[in-house]
Amino acid sequence: MAGVSLKCGDCGTLLKSVEEAQEHAELTSHSNFAESTEAVLNLVCTTCSKPCRSKTESDLHTKRTGHTEFVDKTLETVKPISLEAPKASAMDIDIPDGSSGSGDAAEEMIVPEVDKNILEELEAMGFPKARATRALHYSGNASLEAAVNWVVEHENDPDVDEMPKVPANSNVGPPKPALTPEEVKIKAQELRERARKKKEEEEKRMEREREKERIRIGKELLEAKRMEEDNERKRIIMLRKAEKEEERRAREKIRQKVEEDKAERRRKLGLPPEDPAAAKPSVPVVEEKKSSLPIRPATKTEKMRECLRSLKQTHKEDDAKVKRAFQTLLTYLGNVSKNPDEEKFRKIRLTNQTFQERVGSLTGGIEFMELCGFEKMEGGEFLFLPRDKIDSAIINSAGAELNSAINNPFFGVL
């Protein structure tokens, strides 16, 4: 089969003639061409009659204009390719007046007549003269609205700003409008609705992008704040460790000074130096004497204080958590004191997430509530304070201990 196209061996593009191959070589610097039996496609859009040379070109045309129907006229236009480069001659040179040197009178092309009043209105609206003339010609000089609609539909055409030309001796008038005025109005409404929806979609997309950006910035700010809090917490822990170490060294110095003073007094009195090993047996004797004394049992207030001290010591690395637990306990007791007849203030579900996070999961939290009179009931699911067991003195003492624990910075340190 004879070749019907030239194929670029570098990029695979099909070309109809030697002239196209030369232009392609100048633009791309490709030089590897071979004769091919594969014809260049000729897909003609049924809507606007635009020819497309490839499937990719027709897809781009569909994406740009929305036209989807094409007629394949490849076989109608295909012909064997000539590998002879055409020679320019005087007969083939176009003359500016529209004729050619071949001697045959070429048909003269002129700008079609359009409605001048509508043309002036279109120009006043900001449309170029060529685009306005083309719109009036192809919309049949029907109306200003029809011309504007044509411009909207064909604004992406590559030749939209070229002045239209028609044969001078053509008796065929401008194409009549294919749509009735009612259909034109409906079409214009559809176009406006489509433009409105497109604008709304774009605004929604931009809003989503802005929301994503706000979320990203918010996350970065939260992460920065968290890191700052972690660094501050570490700094406080280091300061406390340094203070404790300094306090330990100071106590050690005081103890050494006491030992030195004691040794100096023994020397002045003429006593021999104290033997540390000999002094140890006397300790059990003293303890035995003390054990013979009656021991006073700890009061509820002391037990509460010890319970709060234990809670703070156990969770000393998180002051905020300890303070929140103390404030929560104070709130529970305050509600009972102010509303002793309200059962909802005297009954606490142990599985409640807020109670567990603030009190229940901390060492000593539930024990403190039990010291205030609360009892476990219903299989350990609730803490309940019976109405007849409310002791105002105990509640007040517990409140005083909680206030001291919250306000005294040295509470539980020793």
| pLDDT tens-place string over residues 214-223 | 999 999 999 9
Rounded-to-integer distance, Cα 213 and Cα 202, Å: 17
- Percent of the chain topping pLDDT 90: 14
Helix (H) or strand (E) holding 45: strand 43-45
Q: What's the pLDDT score for residue 291? A: 47
Cα 329 to chain centroid distance, Å, stands at 40
Q: Is the per-residue pLDDT at 91 higher than 70?
A: no
On the CB side of 46, CA atoms within 13 Å amount to: 5
Q: Is the per-residue pLDDT at 389 higher than 60?
A: yes
Q: What's the pLDDT score for residue 29? A: 77
CB of 169 closer than 8 Å to CB of 107:
yes
Lowest mean pLDDT among 108-112, 196-200, 296-300, 402-406: 296-300
Tokens standing for 364?
Answer: 């000593």
Exposed e or buried b for every residue in 163-178, given b needs 16+ CB within 10 A?
A: ebeeeeeeeeebeebe
Q: What's the pLDDT score for residue 170? A: 56
Say how many Å lie between the first and final Cα of the chain, rounded: 105
CB count within 10 Å of CB 319 equals 14
pLDDT band at 32 (very low <50, low <70, confident <90, very high): confident
Tell me if the domain spanning 300-407 has CATH number 1.20.58.2190: yes
pLDDT band at 326 (very low <50, low <70, confident <90, very high): confident
Residue 404 dihedral angles phi and psi, to the nearest 5°: -65, -40
Rounded-to-integer distance, Cα 312 and Cα 304, Å: 12
Q: What's the pLDDT score for residue 151? A: 84
Torsion of CA 29, 33, 38, 39, to 10 degrees: 60
Measured CA angle at 263 (ends 262, 268), to 5 deg: 100
Cβ neighbours for 151, distance < 8 A, ≥ 6 positions apart: 127, 131, 132, 135, 160
Tokens standing for 238?
Answer: 């280091």
Top pLDDT among 275 and 33 is at: 33
Q: Is the per-residue pLDDT at 104 higher than 90?
A: no
Q: What's the pLDDT score for residue 276? A: 64
Per the document, the length of the chain is 414
Rounded-to-integer distance, Cα 294 and Cα 82, Å: 128
Helix residue spans in 315-391 (DSSP H): 319-338, 353-355, 365-371
Rounded-to-integer distance, Cα 333 and Cα 393, Å: 12
Top pLDDT among 396 and 84 is at: 396
Q: What's the pLDDT score for residue 222? A: 92
Q: Is the per-residue pLDDT at 9 higher than 50?
A: yes
CB of 44 closer than 8 Å to CB of 51:
yes
Helical packing angle, 144-153 and 129-138, nearest 10°: 110
Q: What's the pLDDT score for residue 413? A: 60
Rounded-to-integer distance, Cα 47 and Cα 53, Å: 17
Residue-wise pLDDT for 352-365, tens only, equals: 888 888 888 888 88
Rounded-to-integer distance, Cα 328 and Cα 114, Å: 87
Rounded-to-integer distance, Cα 150 and Cα 137, Å: 10
Residue type, 250: A
Question: In the CATH scheme, what is the code of domain 109-178?
Answer: 1.10.8.10
Q: List, in sequence order, every residue forming a beta bridge with 51; answer none if it has no partner.
A: 44
pLDDT band at 230 (very low <50, low <70, confident <90, very high): very high
Measured CA angle at 88 (ends 98, 6), to 5 deg: 110
Most confident of 21-25, 133-137, 254-258: 254-258
CB of 35 closer than 8 Å to CB of 13:
no
Measured CA angle at 321 (ends 318, 324), to 5 deg: 145
